[in-house]
Amino acid sequence: MTLTTSSTSRRARLSNLAAAAALSVGLGYGAAAEATPLTLDMSTTAGFAQTCKQLPHDARRLKNDDERIAWALCRDTDQTRRLITWATQNFTRIDHTPLPQVVAEVERQIDEVRREMAQTRQVLARINLGERHSLQIAPGQWQMDLNGDGQMALWEKYFFAIPKRGLSHASWGLPRNDEAHIQRNYAPAAQIRIDQADVLWALSYHQFIEGLLTHVRAFDLDTKHWHLTLARPALLGQAHTLIGQGLETSDRMRHAVLAETDDEQEWIANPQQRQSVFPLVLDAEDFNTWREVMAEARATWQGEHLLPASRNARGLLGEFAPLCAEGQGLNVKQLYRKPPTKTLRIGSSGPLPDVSDTRASAAPCPPRTMPTCSGSSWPPAKAGTTPCPRATACCGWPLNAAACKWRARPCATNWPC
Ligand SMILES: [Ca+2]
Ligand SMILES: [Ca+2]
């Protein structure tokens, strides 16, 4: 399939990039830190603005974990504001801007977000609340002019509001200028009393998003042919570390949530907790699914399990199939840590990816030696075993963990193993 460079598709691409980037977040306000403890209020609109204004720009001047939490929230929300303002202003002139310039500006933005998120991530990683609770927050009250037009539209007012608990996430959408839609789908007054599990939740998302953005910046986009070329292999290694840390943090978070015995203004709730404003209701089976999927994801990410890479595979794995010879499984860790030395291209035309020197070394693809099937292609086979060709994908996890009842399937009998 050949991708066009029409203004429509360019707009769509930039819009997608901006939307993805807007999920990330993080920037700060400058103001001298006071010697006396700061008054931190993250539960009212005025208190939020005042708190962010008085926090120091330099994270090293933060005096305690409550200040670190407020600082991270202020930076994240302000980074969101800056991204939306940037995207809004650039969207109007994208049709008149040469494509390479658009790409360069997007890359600059991604790098800035990565820098900001690295700071916020390090601050979040320092926080250890132990058993105590920290700030009470009400994200629906964090209201600001996000697109920089000097007005506060309804969608901006409720941009950080939490969707009502228990609704199908398909009905959320983003807040729009429709009061009835907001009232139906959002809980602007919802409050959370932050505990260590919530801090770990935020930390894991920072690690994941920073990792994904780092992954993106490992590649250069050829705007003529819409190819991605691996230009900065070292960033792939960094991305592997960050996403691996995200998986570990997510597991620590799951343990922390399950260990909670209180039940008051919770974010993610364990099956015994009822006082939660987290949009998804998770039962005991969801937590089991979470544990199983994360264990498989971590083993795959660290190269302990191999992904099936077959020429007949479909989807992304099919695109990567040429990385591995027949009879080999893909070692994700090696792919990130020792990517093919020859140019790795991913794109829309031509033989993809170009890994003609890789098969000789076969670095990411150790042979699978055991002549038995070990299950479906998800979960992947343990290194040294042969995975089966059919995937039972767990779609959209963890967003719809409740709907994701993954079960291993027996191997297809005709699989040549
Ligand atoms: Ca506005
Ligand atoms: Ca909690």
Amino acid at 340: P
Distance 195 CA to ligand 2 centre (A): 6
SS3 letters for the chain? CCCCCCHHHHHHHHHHHHHHHHCCCCCCCCCCCCCCCCCCCECCHHHHHHHHHHCCCCHHHCCCHHHHHHHHHHHHHHHHHHHHHHHHHHHCCHHHCCHHHHHHHHHHHHHHHHHHHHHHHHHHHHCCCCCCCCCEECHHHCCCCCCCCCCCCHHHHCCCCEECCCCCHHHCCCCCCCHHHHHHHEECCCCEECCHHHHHHHHHHHHHHHHHHHHHHCEEEECCCCEEEECCHHHHHHHHHHHHHHHHHHHHHHHHHHHCCCCCCECCCCCCCCCECCCCCCCHHHHHHHHHHHHHHHHHHCCCEEEECCCCCCHHHHHHHHHCCCCEEECHHHHHHCCCCCCCEEECCCCCCCCCCHHHHCCCCCECCCCCECCCCCCCEECCCECCCCCCCCCCCCCCHHHCCCCCCCCCCCCCC
> Could you say which ligand is closest to the alpha carbon of residue 268?
2
pLDDT, tens digit, for every residue of 227-238?
A: 788 899 999 999
The phi, psi pair for 338, rounded to 5°, reads -130, 70
Distance 281 CA to ligand 2 centre (A): 14
Residue 338, pLDDT score? 86
pLDDT, tens digit, for every residue of 43-93?
A: 999 999 999 999 999 999 999 999 999 999 999 999 999 999 999 988 888
Distance 78 CA to ligand 1 centre (A): 14
Residue 41, pLDDT score? 97
Residue 308, pLDDT score? 64
Amino acid at 404: C
Give the HSE-up count for residue 335: Cα atoms under 13 Å, Cβ half-sphere. Answer: 23
> Could you say which ligand is closest to the alpha carbon of residue 151?
1
Question: Is residue 107 within 8 Å of residue 223, measured between CB atoms?
Answer: no
Distance 262 CA to ligand 2 centre (A): 8
Q: Whole-number mean pLDDT of the chain? A: 77
pLDDT, tens digit, for every residue of 254-295?
A: 999 999 999 999 999 999 999 999 998 999 988 988 898 888
Distances (CA, A) of 186 to 17, 22, 51, 189, 401: 25, 19, 24, 9, 21
Q: Is the peptide bond before 233 cis (omega within 30 degrees of 0)?
A: no
Least confident among 44-53, 70-79, 94-103, 340-349: 340-349
Residue 261, pLDDT score? 95
Residues around ion ligand 1, judged by CB within 5 A, are 145, 147, 149, 151
Distance 152 CA to ligand 1 centre (A): 5
- 194-208, 282-296, 319-333 — most confident range: 194-208
Q: Is the peptide bond before 353 cis (omega within 30 degrees of 0)?
A: yes
Residue 246, pLDDT score? 98
What gap in Å lies between CA 396 and CA 406, rounded to an integer? 12
Q: Which residues pair with 104 in a beta bridge?
A: none
Residue 210 has pLDDT above 90, yes or no: yes
Distance 81 CA to ligand 1 centre (A): 10
What gap in Å lies between CA 246 and CA 117, rounded to an integer? 13
Distance 338 CA to ligand 2 centre (A): 39
| Rg value, the chain, Cα | 23
Distance 55 CA to ligand 2 centre (A): 25
Residue 26 has pLDDT above 80, yes or no: no
Distance 36 CA to ligand 2 centre (A): 29
What gap in Å lies between CA 67 and CA 323, rounded to an integer? 48
Residue 326, pLDDT score? 63
Tokens representing residue 187 in the block: 């809980």
Tokens 């792919």: give the residue: 335
Distance 148 CA to ligand 1 centre (A): 5
> Could you say which ligand is closest to the alpha carbon of residue 265?
2
Percent of the chain residues past pLDDT 70, beyond the cut: 67
Distance 85 CA to ligand 1 centre (A): 9
Distances (CA, A) of 296 to 38, 134, 311: 44, 33, 23
Candidates 379, 375, 376, 359; CA nearest to 367 is 359
Residue 322, pLDDT score? 67
pTM of the model: 0.76
Least confident among 238-242, 284-288, 343-347: 343-347
Q: CA quadruple 141, 142, 144, 147: dihedral positive or negative?
A: negative
Residue 169 has pLDDT above 60, yes or no: yes
Residue 347, pLDDT score? 53
